[in-house]
Structure 1
Amino acid sequence: MMRRKSFENLECPIARSLERVGEWWSILILRDALLGSTRFEQFQKNLDIAPNILTRRLTALVESGMLEKRRYSERPPRDEYVLTEQGKDFRPVLWALLAWGNRHFAPDGASLVIVDAETGAIAEPVMVDATSLRRIEAPAFRTAPGPGASDAFRARHAKRAALRAEVAAALLSDA
């Protein structure tokens, strides 16, 4: 079996996140955990996943800090998998995927929507800046190296930004 590349030590937060949840079974397990599943049998039944794959994915999610393994029966020994705060914090990511999927891959209409818990009104998730409350959309927002970025990471980002500016200038001159 060929081992995939690890993204764990890369500086990019997207790559680091994918290291933890970038495998589709992991995302679906987290979805089901956020919907209340905690036991191996529940995950297996809901996902129709092979037991060996489920075991590997649950172990990886526990090791990455998304789930916590808790013993609920000594005889026979049985464990449940409970979301950690880190795992619960994944909900907005799932909701963003849900909204994106509804927008682009639901030819017959949405099969699952997000609703206001009080009114039942359908909600449309958007990402907003917590300070300004403005929608985070390009070109008004862009990425920039953070305080923890290495010099090499900053240089790569600056090179990409210069290339984007060059392409944008070329497009403007053609218009």
Structure 2
Amino acid sequence: MKRKSLEDSQCPVARSLDIIGDWWSLLIVRDALRGLTRFGEFQKSLGIAKNMLTVRLRQLVDEGILEMRPASDGSAWQEYVLTERGRALQTVLVALSQWGNAFLFEECEKGSVLVDRINQRPLRPLQLLADDGRELSPDEIELLPSASATSA
């Protein structure tokens, strides 16, 4: 069964999920943020079938999340490099990581933690902040059509 496209949805979450909504795509972006660039590196890290990886990488390139470049070592291979659009997904992955650490691990389980490269300290939890700096709870946020939000 063919998946329904959400590219025309007025909801930005739906449009985003239309592009990066499967777990392989986000895991590829995660690995690219960690410095992986080669097909074989992604395949080894993820344990994904080569045909599935080929499709996901092509989709990410077509959507402007990754771009293909000649290998930096001068070999005949191609590398997959995050674009600005792809690097911007880091915030999404940080949010997922922090949520996962908070809710999906038992106290005795060891997960992984995101740290600042310079001082090796864990990142602060992401916060939802109002324009005036107030921290917002989920019930203090609503989604409006763009015209309503800009005219307020």
List gaps (5 residues or longer) in structure 2. Answer: none
State the shift of 1:79 in Å. 1.1
1-structure distance, mates of 2:36, 2:93 = 16
Contact 2:10 2:145 in 1 (8 A): no
Contact 1:66 1:83 in 2 (8 A): yes
State the shift of 1:103 in Å. 0.9
State the shift of 1:72 in Å. 2.4
* Aligned partner letter, 2:30: R
2-structure distance, mates of 1:31, 1:101 = 14
1-structure distance, mates of 2:7, 2:92 = 19
Residue in structure 2 matched with residue 116 of structure 1 by the alignment: 116
- Mapping of 1:72-111 within 5 angstroms? 72=71, 77-107=76-106, 108-111=108-111
Specify the SS of the correspondent of 2:68.
strand
Tell me, yes or no, if structure 1 residue 61 matches structure 2 residue 55. no
Point out the structure with max Rg over C-alpha. 1
State the shift of 1:8 in Å. 1.2
TM-score after normalising by structure 2: 0.86
List gaps (5 residues or longer) in structure 1. Answer: 150-175
1:77-135 residue CA offsets vs partner (Å, 9 max, x unmatched): 42110000000000010000001111111113441112233332222322333732222
Specify the SS of the correspondent of 1:122.
coil
State the shift of 1:61 in Å. 0.3
Residue in structure 2 matched with residue 170 of structure 1 by the alignment: none
Higher relative contact order (CA 8 A, sep 6+): 2
Contact 1:72 1:79 in 2 (8 A): yes
TM-score after normalising by structure 1: 0.76
State the shift of 1:146 in Å. 1.2
Compare 116-125 and 98-107 and name the one that shifted more.
116-125
Specify the SS of the correspondent of 1:68.
strand
Cα distance change of structure 1 residues 148 and 47 upon mapping to structure 2, 3 Å threshold: farther
| Identity, % of aligned positions | 44
